Structure 1
Amino acid sequence: MAVLKVIEVLANSDKSWEDAAKKAVKQASKSVKNIRSVYLKEQSASVSNGELTDYRVNVKITFEVD
């Protein structure tokens, strides 16, 4: 039986929500091993002069505990 744990991570990108999610997983993987999945919980963005300038995500990352 596997034991799984979930952490919540916030990340941002100036490119896209997808890029922000990738950054969240990449950063978390530096200290968390056995990452199994990521769930995109929330998305938001900053707007300047009618354009999206900063994409933000709140993700839940699931990993297996040794």
Structure 2
Amino acid sequence: MPDHTYKKVEIVGASHESIESAVQNAYEKASQSIHKLRWFEIQEIRGNFEDGKPLYQVTMKVGFRLDD
């Protein structure tokens, strides 16, 4: 089996629904341009209020395999 090289980048996802939705939104958008996503690490969870409604924000690092 050949060795592989991986890279991590930081992204931020947001959702009015939940923290899990913020993670899913970030993954779906990132996977459109980053291929072979393998894992994520939550770095920070924060939020704010827009018109009295919470907006969840999740900062995360995602790892992906570089092409051989």
TM over 0.5, yes or no?
yes
Q: Following TM superposition, by how much is the alpha carbon of 1:52 offset from its aligned partner in structure 2, in angstroms?
A: 5.7
Q: Which runs of 4+ in 1 moved over 3 A?
A: none
Number of residue equivalences: 65
Q: Is the 8 A contact 1:45 1:52 kept in 2?
A: no
Q: Is the 8 A contact 1:5 1:63 kept in 2?
A: yes
Partner of 2:14: 12
The answer on 1:44 being equivalent to 2:46 is yes
User: Which residue identity lines up with residue 21 of structure 2 in the other structure?
Assistant: D
User: Which residue identity lines up with residue 45 of structure 2 in the other structure?
Assistant: Q
Taking structure 1 as the reference length, the TM-score comes to 0.89
The two structures, once aligned, show a CA RMSD in angstroms of 1.6
For structure 2, the residue ranges without an aligned partner over 5 or more in a row are: none
Partner of 2:65: 64
Partner of 2:56: 55
Identity level (%): 26
For structure 1, the residue ranges without an aligned partner over 5 or more in a row are: none
**Distance (whole Å) between structure 1 residues aligned to residue 43 and residue 7 of structure 2:** 16
Q: Following TM superposition, by how much is the alpha carbon of 1:47 offset from its aligned partner in structure 2, in angstroms?
A: 3.8
Judged with a 3 Å threshold, the aligned counterparts in structure 2 of structure 1 residues 59 and 30 are, in CA distance, closer, same or farther, namely same
